[in-house]
A and B are shown apart, each in its own frame.
Chain A
Amino acid sequence: MAAQLRLTRRDLKAMALSLPGALFLLFFLFLPLVTIVIYSFWRSENYTMIADWNLDNYITLLTTRTYLTFIFRSLVMSLSVSFICLVYSWPVAYFIARYGGRYRLILVLLTAAPFFTGIILRVTAMQQILGPIGVLNMFLTNMGLAPLKLLMYTNYATALGLVYLWIPFMVLAIYLSLLTFDFKLLDAAMINGAGPLRAFIEVTWPLNWIGTCIGLALVFIPTFAATITPKFLGGVNGALYGNILAHQFGATGTWALGSAMGVVLFAISSLFVYIIFKTVNLNRAGYTGKLDGE
């Protein structure tokens, strides 16, 4: 038994290498999460946390129409934004990976160019484009056309803003997946009679599904928790779950309810990641037959 537990030098090395990551997760994910979970079972009164253990915050959240509305709004927003990012990013990533040649790195960096600035700046820039006096509507009104009310402080404007914010993540995830994909497999499929569409559906898509899943998770989760974009672009009907959550910790000081909202947010995000990664077939995804150096 003792012999079975003996650690080899390689095991120790692996443990040492994983230690920084484990400590990071412990201090910056697990411990704050535990604190939030504890607070979520307390109650707040006049900006004070009271350690009065109860389930009221969760009952309020999950049974009150008001908060369910925010969850539903954010869910619809996250799914829509993820879908739009997916549809837009695949051709971009495919083009860069397959035809980018020696400019691939530059092209990928270009898609991330908006990240060279801060989020506030990017959202403000979107406001300058989409708002009632934004570039787009000014152009339309100068042309004698009616302004696009659809893009003036609406949920559509928020969706557009969020797509613009998170597209680089999706492009990058799919691009990295396509980098290890052997495009010769497509030739094989074509030789065997598959058309381009069928080759894509039966070869490219499933073999890069894991990259797509990572992209979806990277877009869905921050969209669900979004606060700044809906705050500046969403208008009077644009408050999302993240906004209300942030409100609890800021102006209203209702930290206990806010903590419960945080736990629910974490649960929904985890559930999404779990569902999406259940669809990954590890026997296929990620293995393309391409060897290192080929």
Chain B
Amino acid sequence: MSESKKQCHCNRDGSAGTGLTRRTILKKGALGAAVLATASMGPWVRTSQAARLELRWLGWEHYNVKKLTSEFEKKYNCKVSAGFFDGNSECYNKLRAGGVKDFDLFMADGFWPRLYFKQGLSQATDYTKLPNIKGCFPSFLPPNYMLLQEENGTSMVAAPNCWGGYGFSYNKDKIAREDAETINCLFNPKFKGHLSTSARFEENIALAGILACYRMGTINKPRPDGKPFNPYVLTDQELEECKKLLIRQKPLLVTRWNDEDTLERLFRAQVVWASPEWSGIYRRIEFDRLDGKSKLNFAHCLKPREGGLGWVDTWGITAGVKDSEKLELCHKWINFRLKKENMVYVAKEIGWAPTVDVRDMLPERYVRTLFLNQTDAIKDLYQFDAPSSPEKWERVWSEVEAA
């Protein structure tokens, strides 16, 4: 009976003829599974010495230059990943909502780096670890440009990257220079149906704010906060004037553009004659003219008569970076981006004006259209900032949109 049972058992698992028992199968199976598991874990299991640091930055998508990223990854044996936003307020919201733990570096412009530092969202940038900063135009460093330094302090809150204005590009064949180089151009009924603005509510209100305050005569008067005039800090009366201006402007506009491609198409088709923009479109059209590909004759006004908006994009380090090795890597990244060759690449391929003096490495047409001989203009431009009261500005914008 027991023999037959044994026989039966052996036959059932098929091991009688091969010399395999259940025990050996289990043993070999376990060994195989262990080998498989180890092999499959391979890509994730490394010795601590070979572990790659990961650098995560949050910024504008156009600065995500693959060539530069892969060069940096190779050079410093690390991995770089990026998250994107459309505007400063979105970045601010992300960092406040726990983003300081998710990102090591952030990008910001205007007054925003100071705000981040003040609110404990960022930490100081050590300029001694940025040898390439010496190549920056003095216009973007203290004492000429103070927004990179902590308010009432000495810490540097961020490092400069690129700069520009938010001036007007206009068709010289359609609008005379004296009509174009004023904010009033955007509110001039003479150009009805040929004007456009971006959909950015902050900059629409700020530009209208400069014009409103210029007309009201409050632009040069002492401000309630005791600080110099800032179009992002407006009184209720000034905001009311802005609202009226923006409502009156609506019938004059073709559209409020959401992306540069739309504006460029409208410019090239001569549907739109003037619009605020960052000068990238003007540059492309101008290059086409110089190359004989287009007869369009465009100009860009960096600073309108009443005053204009400007920005200096910066790199900052979030408060979430605690590890010294990571902090070192953050500085290396900023320094790498400030390298002249890399700035030239950004200027040519991305189309933004570097804060590093690369005039000797760029053709004249770039130097001229990136305004690299006019970097001093930055001190006369009102810097991008957070609205003094987002709630009031929201209401003004909603009322304009509903009107």
Query: Could you list which residues of chain A lie within 8 angstroms of chain B, going by C-beta atoms?
Result: 44-48, 65-67, 69-70, 127, 131-133, 152-153, 231-232, 235-237, 239, 243-244, 247-248, 250-254, 257
Q: Which of B253, B394, B399 contacts A257 (CB 8 A)?
A: B394
Contact B90 A252 (CB under 8 A): no
A153 proximity list for chain B (CB < 8 A): 254-255
Show 5 A/B contacts (Cβ-Cβ < 8 Å), sorted by A: A65-B402, A131-B265, A132-B266, A235-B253, A248-B394
Contact B92 A47 (CB under 8 A): yes
Contact B402 A127 (CB under 8 A): no
Bound together, the chains give a CA A136 to CA B380 distance in angstroms of 45
Q: Which of B202, B255, B391 contacts A44 (CB 8 A)?
A: B391
A48 proximity list for chain B (CB < 8 A): 96
Other contacts beyond A69-B402, A254-B390: 16, CB < 8 A: A44-B390, A46-B386, A47-B96, A47-B386, A67-B402, A131-B265, A132-B266, A132-B269, A232-B262, A239-B402, A243-B401, A247-B394, A251-B87, A251-B90, A251-B202, A252-B391
Q: Which has the most chain B C-beta neighbours within 10 Å: A46, A250, A252, A254?
A: A252
A44 proximity list for chain B (CB < 8 A): 390-391
B86 proximity list for chain A (CB < 8 A): 250
Contact B201 A252 (CB under 8 A): yes
Query: Could you list which residues of chain B lie within 8 angstroms of chain A, going by C-beta atoms?
Result: 86-87, 89-90, 92-93, 96, 199-202, 250, 253-256, 258, 262, 265-266, 269, 271, 386, 389-391, 393-395, 397-399, 401-402
Report whether over half of chain B's contact residues are helix, strand or loop; otherwise say mixed. Answer: helix
Query: How many Å from the CB of B56 to the closest CB on chain A?
Result: 22
Contact A132 B254 (CB under 8 A): yes
A231 proximity list for chain B (CB < 8 A): 199, 258
Q: Give the nearest-CB partner of A66 in chain B.
A: B402
A257 proximity list for chain B (CB < 8 A): 394
Q: Give the nearest-CB partner of A232 in chain B.
A: B258
B390 proximity list for chain A (CB < 8 A): 44, 46-47, 252-254
Contact B399 A66 (CB under 8 A): yes
Q: Which of B262, B393, B399 contacts A252 (CB 8 A)?
A: B393
Query: How many Å from the CB of A105 to the closest CB on chain B?
Result: 38
Of all A-B residue pairs in the complex, the 9 with the closest CB atoms, nearest first, are: A252-B394, A69-B402, A133-B269, A239-B401, A153-B255, A66-B402, A132-B271, A235-B255, A236-B250
